Structure 1
Amino acid sequence: MIRRVGPPPVKGQKYTQRSGAYAILPMPGGVLLTGQQGDWLDIQLPGGGIDPGESSQQTLHREVREETGWAIAQPLRLGAFRRFVYMPEYDMWAEKLCTVFVARPTRRICDPIEPDHVTLVLPWAKAIDSIGNDGDRMFLQRYAAGLA
C-alpha cells in the first residue's frame, strides 16, 4: 500500500487517479527545484503527470526539462506517496500517485518551458522548509538524512 501524505480524502468526493513522476536533483550547494508563480511562489520537486503511453522515467525527463530547463541522467526510484487534492488547472479532484526519483542534473539546455515556472537551487535546509507539499518534504528530508 502506498502511504497517504496530507489531508484524507473528502467524504463523498469522487477522485480521478493521476500518476506522476517527480525528481530530487542534488546540485553543488543544494537541490534543484522548480517554483510555480501565482498568488505566491509554490516551490516543488520538478515533475508532473504521466501522459498516456509514457513511462514514469520518460515523464521525469520531459517534466524536469519543461519545468527547469535541465537535462538529467541516472534516475533511481526512491519510493512513492499519494495525496488527495483539488487541481484547479484541470478543475479536477485527484488522487495523485507520486513516484519520487533521485537523478543527476547534467546540463541546463533552456529556460523553463512551463508558463510561470522558475528554476531554483536552494540549500537543503531551506529547500525542506520551503517546499510546498508534505510528500515532497518527506522525501527531501529522507534523502538529505541519507535514509532514501
Structure 2
Amino acid sequence: MPIEIVELNHSLIREASLLLAGYRAEGGWDGGHAEECEAALLRLLEDAHTICLLARHQDEYAGFVTYHWGFSTTKGLPILKIQDVYTSPKHRNSGVGQALLQHTVELARERGAHRLQLETDTGNLPARSLYEKLGFEWISQKEVYMLPLSRWRMRTFGQKSDGLDYARRKGCYAVIFDEDKQQVAAVLTAAGHYFLPGGGLEDGETDHECLRREVLEETGYAIHIGSLIGEAERYFLSSRNEPLIGDGKFYTAQFAEKVQDPAEDDHSLQWIRVEEADNLLFHEHHSWAVRCARAANSDV
C-alpha cells in the first residue's frame, strides 16, 4: 500500500499529537500529556518558518517529519533543516521514514536548496543507517553547540473535559517582586480574584508590547521587562461557562515610574506574600510562574 504524505493542519492535530506523544516518550519525556502535545503542534502551525508532514500508511498516521528553512550565507542558497523524524513502532521497517525523508529531499530540490541537514544521536544506529542510505554524509569535523535559553517546557494545568470546544486565549504576564523579594505584585479584580499583571495579546503585538500595555492599563506603571520564565496553559470555564484555555507567557519584570492612573477601575494593584501566591492567585499557571521565578534566582 502506498504511503501518503500530507501537511499538518488543524484537522489533523489529534492524530499528530498521538504520534508526538510516542516520540516524546521514546526520548525520555512524559508522553502521556496529550494536551501538551496538542498545544505544541498548535504553536508549530503558527510558526511561518516550520512545517510538519505526516505519513499515512495502511489507513493510519504512521509518522512525521518537521523541518524549517535556513540560508547559506556563503553559497547564497536555501538550506532545509530537518528538526525531527519519527515512525511509530507499529509501522517501522515499512518505508515510512524513508518516504518522509525522500519527500523533504524533493522539496529542497524544487526550491533550489544547497543542502539538507539534520542531527541525530550517535547511538541511533538505525536512523544513521537510513540517512546514509539516502545519501546523507556524516560531517566529522563539525561539532554541535547549544545554548539553552530556558529551563522550561510547556506546562498544562486544569482538566480538559471531553465534548467541549475550548477557545485559546493568549496573553503575557509579569512576575514582579518587591525590593525584599518577599512579596509579588498582583491585580485584584472586582470579582475578588487575584491575577498576575498582564493580559491578552492583541493582533500585531509583540509579547513585550502586550505586557507593557496591559500593566500600564491595570496599574498605571511602566515596567522594565527581564527574562522569559516560561509558557504554561490552563483549561477552565469562564464566569459565563465558556470553555477556555489560558495560554500565558510569563516574564520577570520590575516597576519603573508611575505614568498614569490605572485605566481599569475594577482592577487594583496589590502586593501578596510569595508563600501565599499558590492559594490566592486564581490561575494555577500564574502561581506556577511565581514558583519558577523564585527558584530561578537564589536571591528570591
Q: TM-score range by the shorter chain?
A: 0.7 to 0.9
Report which of the two has the higher share of strand: 1
How far apart are 1:129 and its partner, in Å? 3.3
Greater relative CO, 1 or 2 (CA 8 Å, sep 6+): 1
Structure 1 residue 111 and structure 2 residue 261: aligned?
yes
Give secondary structure in 2 for the equivalent of 1:98. Answer: strand
Structure 2, unaligned stretches of length 5 or more? 1-39, 41-153
Structure 2 partner of 1:43? 194
| 1:22-37 equivalent positions in 2, closer than 5 A | 22-29=173-180, 30-37=183-190
User: 1 CA distance for matches of 2:258 and 2:275?
Assistant: 24
1:147 Cα shift?
6.1
Query: How high is the sequence identity, in percent, across the aligned residues?
Result: 25
- Cα 1:128/1:93, change in 2 over 3 Å: closer
Match of 2:218 among 57, 63, 67: 67
After the TM superposition, which residues 1-148 of structure 1 pair with which residues of structure 2 at under 5 Å, given as runs? 1=40, 2-6=154-158, 8-29=159-180, 30-38=183-191, 41-88=192-239, 92-146=242-296
- Structure 1 outlier segments of 4+, above 6 Å: none
After TM superposition, the score normalised by the length of structure 1 is 0.85
Q: How many residues align?
A: 144
Which of the two has higher C-alpha Rg?
2
Task: Quote the offset at 1:109 in angstroms.
Answer: 2.0
Work out whether residues 34 and 46 of structure 1, in 8 Å CA contact, stay in contact via their aligned partners in 2.
yes
Q: Distance in 2 between matches of 1:52 and 1:14?
A: 22
Q: When you count helix as a share of all residues, which structure comes out higher?
A: 2
State TM-score, norm by structure 2. Answer: 0.44
Q: CA RMSD in A?
A: 2.1
- Is the CA contact 2:235–2:243 (under 8 Å) kept in the aligned structure 1? yes
